[in-house]
Structure 1
Amino acid sequence: MSTCATASRDAAEPVAGTSATARTWLLVEQTGPWGTEALIESHLDPRIGRALEAAADGTGVRVALIRRPGRHADCHGSTARRVFLAHTAPGRSWMRTATITDPGALLSLDFARLGAGEHDGLWAPYTGDPLVFVCTNGKRDRCCALLGRPLAAELTVSGTEAWEITHIGGHRFSPTLFVLPYGYAYGRASAPLVKDAVESARSGRVLLDHCRGRSAWERPAQAADLAVRELIREDRADALDAVRTEAVSPPGAGEAPVTPAWAVTVAHRDGRSWRVTVEQRTDGAPAPASCGLPLGRPARMAVLSVRALPGPASSPAPS
């Protein structure tokens, strides 16, 4: 039986502009099985899971459960668990970590400030290697289990700091993952590609191959950032920022746009900037958005144009 990942790959569906959106990630270790809605269908107290979802709603914080790759014992004991906070905005990214025994204590966090990029000295800075989070929740989509779990296990054996994570969207791009501290996501990943992505992140750069986008932005800005990077061959993670996104009418649409479109202003830290026109299209080959769903035409971000805005005439090439 064909899977959604196979159908998407066969249709050559582009991955750019498909990352989950989160300015700040709150990642909570939770061993044992995960259900479809993991925050309320795991061995985490569902009352705490619901409260965390409610507290994070509208703040820019995304909460997910994580666990180490391997067998996941079905045990209910209250044990110490690792937690991570990561803010992914360009030039302001940071990571904090702690070990806690009471996940209910997370409800006292100021989610609005965390979403705005303010950690206020909470917990300890994370100073280790870049972290990889591979989506493996087979209860949401079997592709995540069939393709994600073997990848997470392979990365761990090779020494990569890898975790399994409950849900980051885009099952049909499995195996899918993101890398912190910068928050760039990848689809149809392999172990060699992930190792290159980690090595890039270690040196403050981003690997563009199979890149879905940076989670700090909504999807039009993700696509615009990657388009400018490809155009000017820029791989420094914090060199670019999507500073403005506005809805526009696509070319030829007249007064009643038939498809959503945006103009995204992407700024380089050297002063250059570009206006990127992005349109949401559903003109690809039919494919299921997830295993078990009927065929459809998944929305994709199509970059129509990239236009340099007035500014510095030239600048040094990326080093």
Structure 2
Amino acid sequence: MTLPHCSAASQEAGESLTGTAVESVDRWLLLEVTDPWAPNAIDTEALSGQVRERLDRWLGDVPRSRLQLIRRPGRPVQKKAFIMVSSDRGVVSKVELDRYEDLLGLSPEGMSEHSAPATQPICLVCVHGRRDRCCAQHGSAFFRALQGRGLDVWQTSHLGGHRFAACALWLPAGLMYGRLRPEDADSWVSARANDALGELAKFRGRCAYDRPTQAAEILLRSRLGEQSNDAITWVSTTASAADTWEVQFRVSQRTESVRVHLEHTGISRPASCGKDPEPMTRFVADHHGALSPL
């Protein structure tokens, strides 16, 4: 018996994308690998054991970091791009590698010599079919829809949340989206060009935040109708009870407080293709209100 695609099952179950992004990451290591990617990206055959060990050390040495393999079909590859993106500073460091073993002589400190302010966003679209078939199907279609729009767009390895395919990451801001379809390309690119977040129902969250904070930001933006990326600034997150958090944001000259709760829906769906159904949760806002100005 053929099981349904996890993305279709998730959508049919009404699963919310709010607060589902990769969490607590603001350093992104992007390595261009045109060879086939292993299901676990770092195990890709093109990367030697020494290179894998070096990448593991980078991830240990660079706080709040994550590795993504990237590629761009049709790009002539004589040298391989290695890019470090700092979301919190809006800085991109890029070097060209003759071979992957060149990474053995690189350090995070050495990469800083190649740093420059990000002048163009980098867009990553997950197409990691060996990890999940939904990523290959929906990710590849959305990637094609972004072609010819003047974007620095790459295919990438697993971004988390196969069932939310197509998943895309906008750097350096670290904004993650899901359930993107080719027909969304125009409005999505237009929103980001104007530093707006776009359709909040497809916004999974800001990867620098933990998931309760991601959810609180989206729920607050939905209530206020606020689209501007810079209009809301995180202040604090405090666990106040089981599965409940108080999150404060600065909005203009006031502080807004949002209480979010992780609710068990009583509905099950598979987390990825071929897996058994698992209980589904969602974040809901219990309370919000304006506090005194900062």
Using the TM superposition, give the Cα deviation of residue 174 of structure 1 relative to its aligned residue in structure 2, in angstroms.
0.6
Residue type of the alignment partner of 1:229 = R
Aligned counterpart, 2:235: 243
The equivalences for 1:1-319 within 5 A come to 1=2, 2-21=4-23, 22-57=25-60, 59-69=63-73, 79-89=78-88, 92-106=89-103, 108-110=106-108, 120-128=112-120, 130-157=121-148, 159-209=150-200, 210-249=202-241, 257=242, 260-268=243-251, 270-311=252-293
Call closer, same or farther: CA 1:69–1:155 in 2, change over 3 Å.
Answer: farther
Call closer, same or farther: CA 1:120–1:309 in 2, change over 3 Å.
Answer: farther
Call closer, same or farther: CA 1:98–1:55 in 2, change over 3 Å.
Answer: closer
CA distance in 1: counterparts of 2:30 and 2:258, whole angstroms:
32
Aligned counterpart, 1:254: none
Higher share in helix: 2
Q: Deviations over 1:11-35 (max 9, x none)?
A: 1100011111211111111101001
What root-mean-square deviation, in Å, do the aligned CA atoms of Structure 1 and Structure 2 show?
A: 2.6
Q: What SS does the corresponding residue of 2:139 show, helix, strand or coil?
A: helix
- 2:247/2:259 contact within 8 Å kept: yes
**TM-score with structure 1 setting the length:** 0.81
CA distance in 2: counterparts of 1:102 and 1:37, whole angstroms:
21
Using the TM superposition, give the Cα deviation of residue 142 of structure 1 relative to its aligned residue in structure 2, in angstroms.
1.1
Q: What SS does the corresponding residue of 1:49 show, helix, strand or coil?
A: helix
Q: Deviations over 1:195-217 (max 9, x none)?
A: 33333332322213311111111
Residue type of the alignment partner of 1:81 = K
Which moves more between the two structures, 169-178 or 147-156? Answer: 147-156
Residue type of the alignment partner of 1:47 = Q
**TM-score with structure 2 setting the length:** 0.88
CA distance in 2: counterparts of 1:229 and 1:53, whole angstroms:
37
- 2:261/2:284 contact within 8 Å kept: yes
CA distance in 2: counterparts of 1:301 and 1:95, whole angstroms:
33
Call closer, same or farther: CA 1:195–1:39 in 2, change over 3 Å.
Answer: farther
Using the TM superposition, give the Cα deviation of residue 121 of structure 1 relative to its aligned residue in structure 2, in angstroms.
4.7
CA distance in 2: counterparts of 1:216 and 1:311, whole angstroms:
25
CA distance in 2: counterparts of 1:109 and 1:242, whole angstroms:
31
Residue type of the alignment partner of 1:228 = L
Using the TM superposition, give the Cα deviation of residue 229 of structure 1 relative to its aligned residue in structure 2, in angstroms.
1.4
Percent of aligned positions with the same letter in both sequences?
30
Using the TM superposition, give the Cα deviation of residue 290 of structure 1 relative to its aligned residue in structure 2, in angstroms.
0.7
Residue type of the alignment partner of 1:186 = Y
Using the TM superposition, give the Cα deviation of residue 261 of structure 1 relative to its aligned residue in structure 2, in angstroms.
1.7
Call closer, same or farther: CA 1:248–1:287 in 2, change over 3 Å.
Answer: same
Q: What SS does the corresponding residue of 1:6 show, helix, strand or coil?
A: helix
